[in-house]
Amino acid sequence: MKKLNINQRFIILISAITVIVIIGIVVGANVIKTNITNGKYNSSNSGSNNGNLLPEYIKKGITLGGVTGTLESLDTSDATATAADIAWGETAYVKGKKITGTRLRQVDGVSIPYGFYYVGGRKNTGIVISDSSNDEDKYASYSDQANIPADGLEGNQFVWVPVENIDNFKRYGGYWHDMPQAEYESIENNNYSWWNLFSEPTVEGYGYEGEIEEYNSMYSSVEENKGFYVARFEAGNDNEVVVSKKGIMPWTNISWGENMSEIGKTGAVARSKGMYANKEIYGVTSTLIYGVQWDAIMTWIDPNYITSTCDVQNSFVANSEGKGNYTGTIDVCGSSDNYRIKNIYDLAGNIDECTMESASNNSRVDRGGNWINSDQKVPASARVIIPTNEASSTLRF
């Protein structure tokens, strides 16, 4: 046999070693793969450090370094939900992406704003909501949905007023005094009738920039949602905080537009705007009620109100005797359930309701009568002209 020289022997040796190493790697890899698949691999056998291994990072059923995995992979690629299908503020994963819900709870087709909770009532009787989660569904099954109690409720309460016909919402008209029937003229043309929609924002206390834009925003909201929420009670003064709760004394001695150069910091306008200004309730804006909104409430109570043909003797909007506090003494908000209609309290009597409606450059309109009208029984539809800088114990907002 021919002998191999030294160089040939070296090449063969290297080749043999290479083959052995490759076979070892392949066999070793197969063993490791098999052990991992079977959940038996332990990194301690190879001296690895398992200090960074966490169960949530390892697939469920696999053990690495003595750590058993808990990670489960869920395929969401076939999901069909959208943000509108998921409750507001709740999150879910759809098609591998995290989405936040925007769907509001609805009752009788009426949306409950985010941050508020359904208490009871129906669309035709008055849907009551509260800003306290402790009040949710408290009277949802109450036997008389037209007379939802206010007792036992913790939060500020509001009632939904439906406005199905936006054309009627434009009207001033209705019972009381001999004010002419009139429709709001086009805002775009700045053509207002005698009962002005706004005062000119040129005199201290008479008006402010942005009133027209605010009205347009309110009107658009009413048209889109077919209604609006109104405070269930007169604005109560709870240690200088505006509330809408039973048993609180109403806010008195406040003018419509005090310090209007600073957007009414101490007047009714600013107080009403500030109710939720510093709270985490999104998509909700509080304002002083507009005259058209008050008339919408009257029309909801008595559809004949808009044509001034309501029954003077039997219609609440024309004769509020026994339905409001005309006793000669001011009382707390919601002092009697007899003063409740459509689940709203004190639309008549106790304290006048200050509104955004304007009668002239230096006056606004109050509605509903007050406690000193014991001899007149002024109805809920009443209008009274008040100077914008006047404050008295009969004035509320």
Per the DSSP assignment, residues forming a β-bridge with 228 are 161
Q: How many residues are present in the chain?
A: 397
Could you give the dihedral angle defined by the CA atoms of residues 366, 389, 158 and 225, in that order, rounded to the nearest 10 degrees? 80
3-state helix, strand, coil in the chain (%, to 5): 25, 20, 60
Q: Which of 239, 235, 268, 238 is nearest to 254 (CA)?
A: 268
Residue 39 confidence (pLDDT) above 50: no
Query: Minimum mean pLDDT among 94-103, 319-328, 350-359: which range?
Result: 94-103
Q: In whole angstroms, what is the distance from residue 201 CA to residue 361 CA?
A: 8
The phi-psi region of residue 338 (left if phi > 0; otherwise alpha if psi is between -120 and 50; otherwise beta) is alpha
Mean predicted confidence (pLDDT) in 65-90: 76
- Res. 93 pLDDT band, cuts 50 70 90: confident
Mean predicted confidence (pLDDT) in 17-43: 49
CA 41 centroid distance within chain: 55
Q: In whole angstroms, what is the distance from residue 55 CA to residue 52 CA?
A: 10
What are the backbone dihedrals phi and psi of residue 217, each rounded to the nearest 5 degrees, phi first? -65, -45
Residue 91 confidence (pLDDT) above 70: yes
Most confident of 56-70, 303-317, 345-359: 345-359
Residue 90 confidence (pLDDT) above 60: yes
Tokens, residue 329: 């003494």
- Res. 390 pLDDT band, cuts 50 70 90: confident
Those residues with Cβ within 8 angstroms of residue 34's Cβ, 6 or more apart along the chain or in another chain: none
- Res. 386 pLDDT band, cuts 50 70 90: confident
- Res. 185 pLDDT band, cuts 50 70 90: very low
| Secondary structure of residue 64 in the 3-state scheme | strand
Those residues with Cβ within 8 angstroms of residue 206's Cβ, 6 or more apart along the chain or in another chain: 199, 200, 257, 260, 361, 362, 388
Taking a C-beta distance cutoff of 8 angstroms, is the pair 141, 148 a contact? no
Residue 152 confidence (pLDDT) above 50: yes
Angle between helices 291-301 and 211-225 (to 10 degrees): 30
| Secondary structure of residue 274 in the 3-state scheme | coil
Those residues with Cβ within 8 angstroms of residue 385's Cβ, 6 or more apart along the chain or in another chain: 359, 360, 363, 364, 365, 366
Average pLDDT, the chain: 77
Q: In whole angstroms, what is the distance from residue 114 CA to residue 117 CA?
A: 8
Q: Which of 193, 200, 207, 198 is nearest to 290 (CA)?
A: 198
Q: In whole angstroms, what is the distance from residue 220 CA to residue 218 CA?
A: 6
Which pLDDT score, from 0 to 100, does residue 142 have?
97
- Res. 182 pLDDT band, cuts 50 70 90: very low
Q: Model confidence over 236-263: pLDDT tens digits? A: 999 989 999 999 999 988 888 765 544 4
| Secondary structure of residue 7 in the 3-state scheme | helix
Q: Which of 116, 122, 148, 121 is nearest to 134 (CA)?
A: 116
Mean predicted confidence (pLDDT) in 2-8: 54
Q: Which residue has the higher pLDDT, 63 or 333?
A: 333
Residue 280 confidence (pLDDT) above 70: no
Mean predicted confidence (pLDDT) in 116-137: 96
Q: Which residue has the higher pLDDT, 184 or 106?
A: 106
How many Cβ atoms are within 10 Å of 369's Cβ, its own excluded? Answer: 28
Taking a C-beta distance cutoff of 8 angstroms, is the pair 289, 279 a contact? no
Mean predicted confidence (pLDDT) in 317-322: 87
Tell me the one-letter amino acid at 213: E
Which pLDDT score, from 0 to 100, does residue 263 have?
45
Q: Which residue has the higher pLDDT, 275 or 104?
A: 275
pLDDT over 70, % of the chain: 69
Mean predicted confidence (pLDDT) in 139-167: 95
Tell me the one-letter amino acid at 205: G
Residue 89 confidence (pLDDT) above 60: yes
- Res. 341 pLDDT band, cuts 50 70 90: very high
